[in-house]
A and B are shown apart, each in its own frame.
Chain A
Amino acid sequence: MSASVDTRKKVLWAIGILVVVLYALVPVAWLVSLSLKSPDTIGTDRSFLPSDPTFDNYSNLFTGESDFPEALRNSLLAAGGATLIAIVLAAMAAYALARLNFAGKALILSGSLAIAMFPPISIVGSLFAVWRNVGLFDTIPGLIIPYMTFSLPLAIYTLSAFYREIPWELEQAAQVDGATPWQAFTKVILPLAAPGTFTAAILVFIFAWNDFLFANTLTSTDAARTVPATLAFFTGASQFDQPIGAIAAAAVLVTIPIIIVVLIFQRRIVAGLTAGAVKG
């Protein structure tokens, strides 16, 4: 009897898990199948699966007048640059917040919490005006600056949560041996914190990679326009015709790296997300 209850339970769980997996994957599968439809029929073929799969949409992205390659380059530079700078700044601040005693700690923590809640739309007008005056408009650094700023709170909270888990004794040992706090940080903490640092870097990168508001307002040409903004302004044969195939193919291409990263580092990403958010 208890065996049959167990099987019923197992079946129920299996259904629950299947529903969750389908929930996450069906929209992705739809984008993939859309991108494989032939450019000629994509606007009228309403079936879920392509009747005659082709890679034409993909090859079109890299030939002719498509500005997708530039957009991909801009996205990589902007998100990569922001990640690099944000992680360095956040690692220093997070170490101080996790390990050192000083007045103003609470102020810094609540200040960065406030920035996590800050509405970016409130400053795009000012940034638009200032960037045009100082020559940052339509440049990669002009995007890196807001990206790293808005990802700093997430990075600081995630990293300080990781640093707190590193045993104190190691640093004390280093300090007894005559190391300064700075040496203790670079020689002892940094190597041990590498996994946490990497997680924070992934989260910052995903954040910057996802941005549309700044990319849309602070750029105007393919000199700096990132993939999300380029997708929104892709034009088809006529002005009113959205190039569905090109958008779907580009959408799949920018999604693949994220899925690979998520597949490899899922455990760490979950740890980082919850450390950064719940402990905020």
Chain B
Amino acid sequence: MAADAVTTEQEERARTPQAPRKEMTDRARAERKTAWLLCAPAVIVMLLVTGYPIVYAIVLSLQKYDLRFPDDKEFVGLQNYVDVLSSSVWWSDIFNTLVITVASVALELVLGMLIALVMHRAIFARGAVRTSVLIPYGIVTVVASFGFLYAFSTTSGFIPEWFNLTEDPFASRWDSFGVIILTEVWKTTPFMALLLLAGLALVPDELHEAAKVDGASAWQRFWRITVPLMKPAILVALLFRTLDAFRIFDTVFIQTRGANDTETVSILGYNVLINRVNLGLGSAVSILIFICVIIIAVLFTKGFGATTAQQRGEAT
């Protein structure tokens, strides 16, 4: 009896400031409905424009389908995959793509960290620094690629003039890689720096002060305090940039078009799909690139999963 009275009293108290319970669940249902109505257009667009084409690409990749000979279309099972995976071109393109990806992401991380530290600790001219680093981010990749192409060209460029280079960098494979990587690094380091800067802001100043009092040098403080605390931000930045670099297309297309064995997987996919209009074989290349991207994402999240999940949890 007494207990009953308490519960009703509690219910009573719970009800008074808010609406009655029945209406609350109606409200929750209405809320859910509104939420789905609001999300539906974006979700449908994303599913239609990525989900459907990827399924269609899988279907195409199982067919012999060359637009030059549309009547020869037939189901060939995994033959296209066998053809791609047994060709030396695919593996050398994978190698080229990995060279560009690893070199540019590694350089971007080091340079991006330096720029982030300058931006974080800058006593003056913060706005000027921030504006300058945003310029490479905003510049069209094709434009940046032409800029570096002409700068390094032996006939029109100031770099061969200044450094007295006589050999055309675009005549050699590794020099071409060098210019491609430099262009990528220039264009995307600012993005890396901004992500790292956001991570730096999360490192409390007190820790640095305390370590300073204990006699730690700036170098020690960087490795023992800043880096461990920034690890989640670093990993997220690395994951995004690695996936982005692996898809590299614009820079290579403009600067070499894959000449001198600098072709990347995206250029291969483009050549087979668009130039040779071989939709079957080209779709197999597309799907294999898709699988590579999944592997990279899984490696990152499995290898460092706990930390990225934690980072995401904190932020949302």
- Residues on A lying within 8 angstroms of B by beta carbon are 10, 13, 16-17, 20-21, 23-25, 27-28, 30-31, 34, 42-48, 89-90, 92-93, 95-97, 100-105, 108-109, 111-112, 115-130, 145-146, 148-149, 152-153, 156, 180-182, 185, 206, 209-210, 212-213, 216-217, 227-228, 231-232, 244, 247-248, 251, 254-255, 258-259, 261-263, 266-267, 269-270, 273-274, 277-280
Q: A27-B147, A111-B46, A251-B146 are in contact. Are A261 and B138 (CB under 8 A)?
A: yes
Q: A181-B34, A251-B146, A266-B130 are in contact. Are A278 and B50 (CB under 8 A)?
A: no
- Closest A-chain residue to B131, C-beta based? A266
Q: Are B289's CB and A10's CB within 8 A?
A: no
Interface residue B60 (Cβ < 8 Å from any Cβ of A): yes
Could you say which residues of chain A place their CB within 8 Å of the CB of B287? 122
Contact sample, A vs B, 21 pairs, CB 8 Å cutoff:
A34-B156, A48-B158, A48-B161, A92-B41, A96-B38, A117-B297, A124-B270, A148-B45, A149-B50, A180-B34, A216-B270, A231-B146, A251-B140, A258-B135, A259-B138, A261-B138, A267-B127, A274-B198, A277-B191, A278-B311, A278-B315
Give Cα A217–Cα B279 distance, bound, in whole angstroms. Answer: 13
Q: Are A89's CB and B45's CB within 8 A?
A: yes
Least distance between A222 CB and chain B CB atoms (Å):
16
Q: Are B31's CB and A181's CB within 8 A?
A: yes
* Interface majority SS (helix, strand, loop, mixed), chain A: helix
Q: Which of B136, B160, B254, B265 contacts A46 (CB 8 A)?
A: B160
- Closest A-chain residue to B308, C-beta based? A280
Interface size class of B (residues with CB under 8 A): 35 or more
Q: Which of A25, A30, A126 contacts B53 (CB 8 A)?
A: A126
- Closest B-chain residue to A210, C-beta based? B140
Q: Are B46's CB and A152's CB within 8 A?
A: yes
Number of A-B residue pairs, CB cutoff 8 Å, is 302
Could you say which residues of chain A place their CB within 8 Å of the CB of B135? 24-25, 28, 258-259, 262
Q: Are A24's CB and B53's CB within 8 A?
A: no
- What is the 8 Å Cβ interface bit string for chain B, positions 256-293, against chain A (1 contact, 0 not)? 00000000011001100110000100110011011001
Give Cα A151–Cα B23 distance, bound, in whole angstroms. Answer: 38
Q: Are A258's CB and B138's CB within 8 A?
A: yes
Least distance between A132 CB and chain B CB atoms (Å):
9
Q: Are B156's CB and A45's CB within 8 A?
A: yes
Interface residue B28 (Cβ < 8 Å from any Cβ of A): yes
Could you say which residues of chain B place their CB within 8 Å of the CB of A117? 240, 243, 293, 297
Q: Are B156's CB and A46's CB within 8 A?
A: yes
Q: Are A46's CB and B39's CB within 8 A?
A: no
Interface residue B195 (Cβ < 8 Å from any Cβ of A): yes
Interface residue B121 (Cβ < 8 Å from any Cβ of A): yes
Could you say which residues of chain A place their CB within 8 Å of the CB of B186? 23, 27
Give Cα A129–Cα B270 distance, bound, in whole angstroms. Answer: 13
Q: Which of B60, B197, B254, B293 contacts A118 (CB 8 A)?
A: B293
- Closest A-chain residue to B56, C-beta based? A126
Could you say which residues of chain B place their CB within 8 Å of the CB of A227? 140
Q: Are B122's CB and A251's CB within 8 A?
A: no
Give Cα A145–Cα B143 distance, bound, in whole angstroms. Answer: 24
Q: Are B142's CB and A277's CB within 8 A?
A: no
